[in-house]
Structure 1
Amino acid sequence: MRSDKEMEWKTLETKYLFKRNWLTAKVEKVELPDGRIYDEYYTLEYPTWINVIAITKDGKMILERQWRHGLKIVSTEIPAGVVEKGENPMDAAKRELQEETGFGGGTWTQFLVTAPNPSVMNNLCYTYLAEGVELVSDTHLDATEDLEVFFRDKDEVYEMLRSGQFCQALMLAPLWKFFATRT
């Protein structure tokens, strides 16, 4: 088996196509370990993302429904968001949960770290388990957020998962892990 270093690609040139706060696209000229060269390898740079499996003091799971313009669907999800520059992922998760749902407090643990698409994206998604959360404030939604918050028992969420009511892959992985290891 080759070492990680022996499998590493060399970047020969980098050209940024555009840079935005939420997305940067670049094209690189790369050399593979066997000497082959690709003149156009496109990658996307995103900030770190977070998800929260939030469970209230009375044992309900917090879910959201919102429009997802990429697929043009209303998606059922767990609370999620973006880590701001200089912010650590757990602080971002606590902030996002409170902004989107008004819930906070409780006991927090890092639950799972996933790579959305490591072949063309450079970011990670951290999922936190927040147990015993309670209503602590009003919601404070971002300009593009229009979501509904609702609550379900764990068995209902498990049935929703089994019946395909969740489609976001970065939420499916932690939810499946939760039900495989916690119930």
Structure 2
Amino acid sequence: MEKWTTTDSRYIIKRPWLTARCDTMRMPDGQIKDEFYVLEYPDWVNIIAITTDGKMVLVEQYRHGLDDIFMELCAGCVEPGEDPLAAAKRELAEETGFGGGEWELSMVLSANPTSMNNLNYCYIATGVELIGEQHLDPTEDINVHVLEPDEVKRLLVNDRIKQSLMAAPLWKYFAQRGECPIK
């Protein structure tokens, strides 16, 4: 197996929330693919936040792509030059007002390695506490929910957590603890 070679690359659109480029690729057997599209995004983070009393901090917000309101893990973008762990701690504090605790990297995922160039760093933060107020960006409208783990399991089982980059680490979290929601 050999990597493909980029022989040409041009940007189609460069906007704050959407960057797309078209690459010309040479495959190892010499074939040329004239149009291979890549969406460029910053790396992302999400956090399974567990309070000192064992509850889970989730957020609820409107998502325009599916035109609905969803329950999700706290998540956000890694700023240029920022460490993913620092970004995760910043996002949790900004979106929920929670912070502190012990942090560990659970997994690193790609939303779609075929056509997206970023990674998603999934953290588990245990022992978090309310340390302040939300500090939302102008485009954020977020409700914070502190739920029992069984409530989060029900959300998973009932297909209420739609974001795959959030569902996967939650399934892993419960499975590693022998608490797989489906029996």
- Coarse TM-score class (shorter-chain normalised): over 0.9
Structure 1 segment 12-161 matched on structure 2, within 5 A: 12-161=7-156
Aligned to 1:94, the other structure's residue is in SS state: helix
Q: For residues 86 and 106 of structure 1, what CA distance do their matches in structure 2 show? A: 24
SS of 2:152's partner is: helix
Separation of aligned partners in 2, 1:70 and 1:24: 17
CA distance in 2 between counterparts of 1:21 and 1:177 reads 32
Identity of aligned residues (%): 54
- Write out per-residue CA displacement over residues 129-164 of structure 1, whole angstroms, 9 at most, x where no aligned residue: 000000111110011110111111111111211111
CA-to-partner distance for each residue in 1:64-112, whole Å, 9 max, x for gaps? 1100011111011010000001110000000000000000000000111
Contact kept, 8 Å, 1:52 with 1:129, in 2: the verdict is yes
Aligned Cα root-mean-square deviation (Å):
0.9
2: distance between equivalents of 1:22 and 1:93?
19
Q: Which runs of 5+ in 2 are unaligned?
A: none
Runs ≥4 residues deviating over 3 A = none
Cα drift, residue 38 of structure 1: 1.1
TM-score, scaled to structure 1: 0.94
- Cα distance, 1:36 vs structure 2: 1.2
Q: Say whether 1:173 aligns with 2:168.
A: yes
Q: Distance in 2 between matches of 1:144 and 1:9?
A: 39
Using the TM superposition, give the Cα deviation of residue 21 of structure 1 relative to its aligned residue in structure 2, in angstroms. 3.6
